[in-house]
Amino acid sequence: MEERKTAAIVLGILALAVVIFTVIIPYINERKTQTLQFRSCTVHFNYHNGYSPDYDIYRAAQNNFALCLCKIYQHGDTAISNRIIGIYKETGSPIGPDSVYKSKDCSVDTIIKYRSEAFDTLIMVD
């Protein structure tokens, strides 16, 4: 009787070890880092290889990237303004007074003025 209990415990531990080494560890090791970069702005975020990045993680990374672009934007720089507007249309939140709030078609100057509302990443954590 004692031998059966010992055998059951050993087999259970072996089965658990097999699951850990064949399923859990490869999943952990498959984490990849993706980088968003333009000029001096760089944002890194992690995802699991073989899976598309979670939308919330991707959106938060895009919003951090847009905040960085807003900081380095100088009036008349069309490359940065096009990136900011593109990110805002893709992932940004409606912003500003009611006249601007109803439309996602607003100028880059308005987006930069309300950038903390447009590209807020803390809302997604809640």
The predicted-structure confidence for 36-86, as pLDDT tens digits, reads as follows 999 899 999 887 665 666 777 888 889 999 999 999 999 888 999 999 988
Predicted pLDDT of residue 123: 56
Domains in the chain, number: 1
Give the domain range for residue 74.
31-125
Q: What percent of the chain has pLDDT over 90?
A: 24
46, part of any domain: yes
4, part of any domain: no
101, part of any domain: yes
Query: Residue 59's closest CA among 91, 97, 100, 94?
Result: 91
Predicted pLDDT of residue 126: 42
Owner of token pair 């954590």: 125
112, part of any domain: yes
108, part of any domain: yes
The residue among 101 and 55 whose pLDDT is bigger is: 55
